[in-house]
Amino acid sequence: GGSLFDVDAMVLGTTLYLWQMPHFFALSYMHRVDYKRGGFAMVPVMEPDGERTANIILRYAAYLSTVPFFTTYAGVTSSMFALEGIALNAYALHRAYKFKKERTNANARKVFLTSLWYLPSWLVLFLLHSKVWDEEKDSDLLRDAIVDLVHSARQKGREACIHEHVVQHQTNLQIEAANGTQDAANGTEAAPSCPVTLARKASIRAVADVTKNTVSTTMQKAAAQNEIQQSN
């Protein structure tokens, strides 16, 4: 098990806290008349023109848009999460900005509906691009099935990744221009530059390096103990 103070756990908690602001403020603006009748002192009730409500929604949507970049920087997710987060958060910010420019129930409803699919989409992408899976602990059938599903989705994503094909094609053209067709004749392929592939290979190399160092250290200790025994 992990800790409540693990980076990924704190990221999830922060995301849920930031997400709830646009979600509930849009909802309360839509039903401000009902809240007023019920005697609830909501922000949209106390300020019916909605200016403060719109500012809060836009501000927290902007805060939320920084999370994928932080998780990538902190090593919790691959860089692909930040790239896909740009599209996800751009639309959410667009809806928040539209509500700020024209504070109507219709625009508030669009902000609210966006929040409904935003959170599950964010969580799925976070899971797919997570780099903190610990497959050596607490293995069980359900967890193994989830891990297999995530790995399968990642593989499908790499196969369909536009970045991989475009960058690799451009790199092949540069190699052929510099070295003629020698690399093509020898069957040399350009190194993939897709963020998903690079992140995956980087993690594999890291595990390989740790394993190599561990084996080397173990062999050195065994050799030293053997020499001590022989000298005695």
Contact 61, 22 (CB under 8 A): yes
CATH number of 7-128: 1.20.120
Contact 153, 161 (CB under 8 A): no
DSSP for 118-150? HHHHHHHHHHHTBS---TTSS--HHHHHHHHHH
Q: Where are the domains of the chain?
A: 7-128, 141-231
Tokens of 126: 């976070």
Predicted TM-score (pTM) of the model is 0.60
pLDDT by position in tens, the chain (length 232): 566 667 888 899 999 999 999 999 999 999 999 999 999 888 989 987 889 999 999 999 999 999 999 999 988 888 899 999 999 999 999 999 999 999 999 999 999 999 999 999 999 999 888 886 544 444 555 556 666 766 777 676 666 666 656 656 666 666 666 665 555 455 554 455 555 555 555 555 665 666 666 667 767 777 777 777 777 6
